[in-house]
Structure 1
Amino acid sequence: MNAKINRHEFADKLTLADQLARDIASKLDAAIKARGKATLAVSGGGTPKQMFAVLCEQEIDWSKVTITLVDERWVDTDSDRSNAKLVADHLLHHEAHTATFVPLFDSAHKDDVDAALGDVGKRIDALGQPLDVVILGMGPDGHTASFFPGGDNLDKALDLDGKQAVISMRAGGAGEPRITLTLPRVLDARTLYLHIEGNDKKELLAKAEAGEDVPIRAVLTQDRVPLDVFWAP
């Protein structure tokens, strides 16, 4: 069975950013009102920057929101390649400056991502399950999170029966070693978004839905959580 896919298409990226940010904020606010806290896992890259700029200005009780990452490059947090730096530079500002950030990079094991898996997994487990909001992106090779084609731990990462919260990933297209939430943990979400932009990615997503064997297909074919796809050209 395929995921229930709700499609939201916009005329431009700015309109998408505004609507997605407001939708996310409403979900976080509802979580806070229902359970006294909210959790948000975000993805990196250039696509979410504009959305982060809108999201951080939403007037919710950010002091009760914990933000983490879907995946991370195994680089120091002052590197321009760091997703933690992206979040610090573009999201943890304005209203959102009071949110708590839980990184995936572990400086105590900066030379060995595999040695960090236990400690980082405990951090993620401590956030509680399910996560309230998870936001995915997609690369031009069809990867999402750090589920890269040809990745050394791809099969383990996509195993729906897997018990690990996080796993390491090395792949030709990944650059640095990575750490990523596993697919079961990504899908253990109250709300799951896929934020993509450009006609090329829309076409790639359609190919994946039609059966092309790229990692994003694992998100499209699962039946654990509906998927909200936000797209603009």
Structure 2
Amino acid sequence: MAVIEHLFDSPSELDQALATRVGNVLRDAVAVRGQASLAVSGGRTPLGFFKALSQAALPWSQITITLVDERWVGADHSDSNAKLVQDNLLQHAASVARFIPMKNAEPSPEAGLSALTQAYAAAPFPFDAIILGMGDDGHTASLFPDADELAHGLSSQALLCTVNPKHAPHPRMSLTAHSISQARHLFLHISGAKKREVFDQAQQAGPIEALPIRFAIQQNKVPLHVYWTA
């Protein structure tokens, strides 16, 4: 399926353009189906996008927001993606959106998997929009190239998978490659020369296991819209 690139001169231009595009997707989904769903990634890159989207005039009470992946830490932990979303996206107009966290009270992702799968299954699926990020090692979601669970995360038909990366902190919960590729609209939000280099490399032939973002590039269900700025 096609990779469609959207290149911007500044992060602020990208953030506003992506917020407008995603907002239109969500608005159209509510108009057609009465509800919409959005799964977002963590990290520093999407903060400006979150803040722009949070102020959009959308039917937020009919929109469900959830996560692409999460670290198995408390909701008040500085590494929590839920905290990032609560503090930056679920604000202003978006404060009335429904939020499904990707962490529960169980002591490990493995123990929490069943209940979280049920919680995620209650969201409008397939997701109307998924916003992926990408690490310098080519991981996306929490599908890390060094994780013992990578093969399962890439091949399983399940909605979620657990991940224990060898070179990143915290056990994780993640959407599988399968559930990501079911999205009605799929976006990759990246910035900087290093990630541009990694993404260009991932577009070349090579094993998905080496650069897991390749699954999103190579899947044939939905175009991958790449939003990039230096």
TM-score, normalised by the number of residues in structure 1: 0.95
Q: How far apart are 1:150 and its partner, in Å?
A: 1.2
Matched residue, 1:59: 57
User: Which segments of 5 or more consecutive residues in structure 1 lack a partner in the other structure?
Assistant: none
Equivalent position of 1:24 in the other structure: 22
Match of 1:220 in 2: 217
**Per-residue displacement from partner, 1:165-206 (whole Å, max 9, x unpaired)?**
111101122210000010110111110000000011111100
Is residue 2:161 matched to residue 1:151? no
Match of 2:8 in 1: 10
The aligned counterpart of 1:188 is 182
Which residue pairs with 2:163 in the alignment? 169
CA distance in 1, matches of 2:174, 2:8: 29
Query: What is the total number of aligned residue pairs between the two structures?
Result: 227
How far apart, in 2, do the equivalents of 1:232 and 1:197 lie?
A: 5
- Cα distance in 2 for partners of 1:146, 1:103 equals 15
1:135 corresponding residue in structure 2? 131
Amino acid at match of 1:31: A
Correspondence for 1:89 = 87
Q: Any unmatched runs of 5+ in structure 2? A: none
> 4+ residue stretches of structure 1 with deviation over 4 A?
none
Q: Partner amino acid for 1:148?
A: F
CA-based RMSD of the aligned residues comes to 0.9
Deviations 1:38-76 (A, max 9, x none): 000000000000110100000011010000000000000
Alpha-carbon distance between aligned partners in 2 of 1:173 and 1:150, rounded to the nearest angstrom: 8
Q: Which amino acid aligns with 2:77?
A: S
- Report deviation, 1:129: 2.2
1:207 corresponding residue in structure 2: 201
Amino acid at match of 1:165: L
- Aligned-pair CA distance for 1:163: 2.4
Query: Counterparts of 1:35-74 in structure 2 under 5 Å?
Result: 35-74=33-72
CA distance in 2, matches of 1:222, 1:132: 17
Checking the alignment, whether the CA contact within 8 Å between 1:28 and 1:38 is kept in structure 2 is yes
**For structure 1, which segment, 168-177 or 95-104, has the greater mean C-alpha deviation from structure 2 after superposition?**
168-177
Query: How far 1:84 moved relative to its partner?
Result: 0.1
8 Å Cα contact 1:211/1:217 also seen in 2 = no
Amino acid at match of 1:205: F
* Aligned equivalent of 1:102: 100
Residue 128 of structure 1 and its aligned partner are, at CA, apart by 3.3
- The answer on whether the counterparts of 1:56 and 1:94 sit within 8 Å (CA) in structure 2 is yes
Alpha-carbon distance in structure 2 between the residues aligned to 1:123 and 1:215 = 26
- 2: CA distance, partners of 1:211 / 1:83: 32
The separation in 1 between residues aligned to 2:204 and 2:131, in whole angstroms, is: 23
User: Would you say the 8 A contact 2:117–2:160 is kept in 1?
Assistant: yes
Counterpart residue identity of residue 211, structure 2: V
Given that 2:35 and 2:124 are in contact with CA atoms closer than 8 Å, whether structure 1 keeps it comes out as no
Where 1:176 maps in the other structure, the secondary structure is coil
Letter in 1 for 2:65: I
Please give the TM-score of this superposition, normalised by the length of structure 2. Answer: 0.97
| AA at the equivalent of 1:140 | D
